[in-house]
Chains A and B, each alone.
Chain A
Amino acid sequence: MILTILSVILIVAGLVFFFGAAVGLMRFPDFYSRMHAAGKGDTLSTLLVISGFALYQIRGIHDLSHDWPVLLVVLKLLAIVVFIYLTSPTSTSALADAGWEDGIDPVIEPGRENHLEDDCRRKKTPTAQNPEPL
């Protein structure tokens, strides 16, 4: 019973974070802020929901010699959690880097100085003086 309540709390928290990610993906003004909402909200909500279902599956384990398939299911769910925890930030980082290389400009508030332009924007066509780093 306590495990069920805990898993319901985890799943509902995951849905709340997914709601935040969906609203951010819908409403934010530029690519990088949408990336921020999608990356973080999506990762955390997936982790919470799948952890909640794993916690619910633990409820079915009474005798380990008889209930080992349930333990296997729990371990697979935790493997999904670990995998998404590692890969979702990786793909978010790769996509943001691709967007930066592609020349997508962030939206800067008018009146504020854009430091990004002269600090770290790589030259789009590599020259002999400015070779492309590998």
Chain B
Amino acid sequence: MTFEHFAIGVGIAVLLLMIPAMLRIVNGPTALDRIVAVNVIGTKTAVLLVVIGVVFKQVGMFVDFALAYALLNFTGSIAAARYLHRAAQRGGDAPSGEEAD
């Protein structure tokens, strides 16, 4: 059993453990629950890209993808948090995410 087999197992485990986060996206009560779950899945996707790089012996290429993915994931979640923050401040007790600009 080489390290590549172990890396395939790690990738499968990460994919299986993403399923609870996916269920939280489907039936999260509020929009922020869904954003948190999307954030978790995005962080794990960066890990999964590194795993794919190790499996295909192309780490030098895939590590750049993982770095860019982590950056974009952070930007997206900060943007969503700021948007819901502003919407809540502007719109009184409007439910999450329904207050458009």
Contacts and interface: CB of A to CB of B under 8 A. Distances in A.
A19 B77 CA distance: 22
Given A56-B3, A69-B60, A83 B70 contact: yes
Contacts of A91: 39, 74, 77-78, 81
Size range of the chain A interface in the assembly? 35 or more
* Secondary structure of the B contact surface, majority rule: helix
Contacts of B46: 46, 50, 80, 84
B84 A98 contact: yes
Interface of B: 3, 6, 10, 13-14, 17-21, 23-24, 29-30, 32-33, 35-37, 39-40, 43-44, 46-47, 50-51, 54, 59-60, 63-64, 66-67, 70-71, 74, 77-78, 80-82, 84-85, 87-89, 92-93, 96
